[in-house]
Structure 1
Amino acid sequence: MTTPVIEICVEGLDGFLAAQEGGADRVELCASLIEGGLTPSIGTILEVQARARIPFHVIIRPRGGDFLYSETEFASMLADVKALRELGVPGIVIGCLTPDGRIDEDRTAQLVREARPMSVTVHRAFDMTNDPEEALEALIRCGVDRVLTSGQRPTATAGVEILKRAVDQARGRIVIMGCGDLDETTIADVRRRTGLKELHFAALRTEPSGMVYRNPEIGMGGTELEREYTNTVTDPDRVRATIRAARGA
């Protein structure tokens, strides 16, 4: 088997640097991974760009929740894509659906056109579609370069049959990038059973906040107070271990 491309999903500059240190081939740059990843700030993108030795793709997602966007949300997505193209960012990660659970081909094609020559990945909005085979053909028609998927299941292990069918269906017309709770114990088996050439994981760990004073009466953002004083970070040792397992398959 060919050596797989490993993409690490990270939050912020520290996450990017940890993934780069750990040996990632590419990074998906996000904010707010607790919401599944949102568009990071321009300052974060500029700092990553200044320090990057590997490609990074920026998620274009204005909010958490579903992938059915209002006209104003979509306008902001187009504006983000244009800004990143003008900055020379290597790639973007997008996803737009219709109310009936299909790929929104019109909006996806608009985003692809606005993005070029950047690389374009569609994220796990694909996993929320009602027909993965039809959705894959729609993405191919739109000119998307790759799609991130766990095989429409919570984990790649559970979705392995759909992942394998997607790889077979793609026939080199689009890259299938597998994800979904991949770690050093699962990644080699999933790769072997599917034939995936690109793999994506997060390699996160939690660590306590450095805050000494903690107001017990109030929290920010509606989270549990304990969660507010817990930071989620990319672990370069886990990145290395999972990459070793993937490449040893």
Structure 2
Amino acid sequence: MFPTLIEVVAETPMDVRAAQTSGATQVLLVRQLLEGSTSTDTKTIEACMDQASIPVSVLVKPDLGDYFYEEARRTRTLKILEVYWKRGVRNITFGAEHDGIFDWDLLEEAIHCGFTVNINQAFDLLRNPITAYQKLVQYPKVLQVVTSGKPWPTAEGEVRLDQLLQETTPQLPVLLDTFGYTPEQVTTLLKIGVHGVQLGKSIRDPQGKLNYGMLDRWVEVCQSLNKRPRSF
């Protein structure tokens, strides 16, 4: 049995402390979560990392736009990678695509810089998620994939999350963004093979403030699954 991964999306050092206290296994640092998320500043990163006793990933996304990176956005992304590496960041959360195809070149640029990489919800936009997942598994420095769990429309019909899970391995865990789900729904998905959760908007109030009660509730739901075997 593998423990359920619990990633909390944090914006401040206070968020990081709350995540650790709750029992989260890891933290993702972003800015402007409710607006679509973008890379945060190095001062905030350093303050958060000073507080962290659990693994920290930092979002690499140059603005609040989508996951298509044309030349100007690619240039800014590469600059962010350079700055983050110099400031001691070693794990990033990243994803880019164009017309449903994952941006493998930009991923390899990040890996070449030395980073380990968590794949964000750009994965949800891919035309062939199973093939993409199978290719991502071949990258030792790719550590996890996050998805909303919604079906992927493809030329052959929809690919459902349960179909993707049949192809997954704990070597490359799949985490579910819990926004829009009930705890009961997430429990069911964890039982059939989802490896963990990402707690972002689902634990924020309408103003973006962290709701500690919701955080604790979600962590409790996930930790309860660690007490019994799950099927994969």
* Alignment TM-score, normalising by the size of structure 2: 0.82
Equivalent residue, structure 2, for 1:245: 221
Q: Return the alpha-carbon distance in structure 1 between the equivalents of residues 173 and 62 of structure 2.
A: 25
Q: Which residue of the partner structure matches residue 185 of structure 2?
A: 186
Shift of the alpha carbon at 1:28? 0.9
Is contact 2:151–2:161 with CA below 8 Å preserved after alignment?
A: no
C-alpha change, 1:183 and 1:87, in structure 2 (3 Å) is farther
Alignment partner, residue 209 of structure 1:
none
- Give 1:35 deviation, angstroms: 2.4
Deviation digits for residues 145-194 of structure 1, max 9, x if unmatched?
A: 2111123359xxxxxx833332331334522122242453432222012x
Which SS does the other structure have where 2:108 is aligned?
A: helix
2:156 equivalent in structure 1: none
**TM-score w.r.t. length of structure 1:** 0.77
Partner of 1:126: 123
Q: What is the percentage of aligned positions where both structures have the same residue?
A: 23
- Pair 1:106 & 2:105 matched: yes
Find runs of 4+ consecutive structure 1 residues off by over 6 angstroms. Answer: none
Say if 1:149 and 1:180, in contact at 8 Å, map to a contact too: no
Report what 1:216 is aligned to: none
Partner of 2:147: 149
- RMSD of aligned alpha carbons: 2.3
**Which residue type is aligned with residue 119 of structure 2?**
V
Give me the whole-angstrom Cα distance separating, in 1, the residues matched to 2:121 and 2:110.
16
User: Is the CA contact (8 Å cut-off) linking 2:147 and 2:177 kept in structure 1?
Assistant: yes
Distance 1:113 1:151 in 2: 30
SS of the aligned residue for 1:234 comes to: coil
CA distance in 2, matches of 1:169, 1:84: 33
In the alignment, the residues of structure 1 paired with residue 120 and residue 33 of structure 2 have an alpha-carbon distance, to the nearest angstrom, of 13
Structure 2 counterpart of 1:110, which letter?
Answer: E
In structure 2, the CA distance between the partners of 1:241 and 1:180, relative to structure 1 (3 Å rule), is closer
- Quote the residue 1:51 is aligned against: 51
- Give the Å deviation of 1:61: 0.7
Counterpart of 1:15?
Answer: 15
C-alpha separation in 1, matches of 2:111 and 2:79: 13
Which has the higher Rg, Structure 1 or Structure 2?
1
Stretches of structure 2 that go unaligned for 5 or more consecutive residues are: 153-158, 226-232
1:39 equivalent in structure 2: 39
2:200 is the counterpart of 1:205: no
- Per-residue CA deviation, residues 95-144 of structure 1 (Å, 9 max, x unaligned), is 1112x211011111112221x2x431110000011221122234334552
Structure 1 residues 183 and 20: alpha-carbon distance in aligned structure 2, compared to 1, 3 A threshold: farther
Q: Secondary structure at the match of 2:117?
A: strand
2: distance between equivalents of 1:247 and 1:132?
28
- Residue 134 of structure 2 is matched in structure 1 by 137
CA distance in 2, matches of 1:121, 1:21: 23
Q: Does residue 232 in structure 1 map to residue 208 in structure 2?
A: yes
How many residue pairs align between the two structures? 216
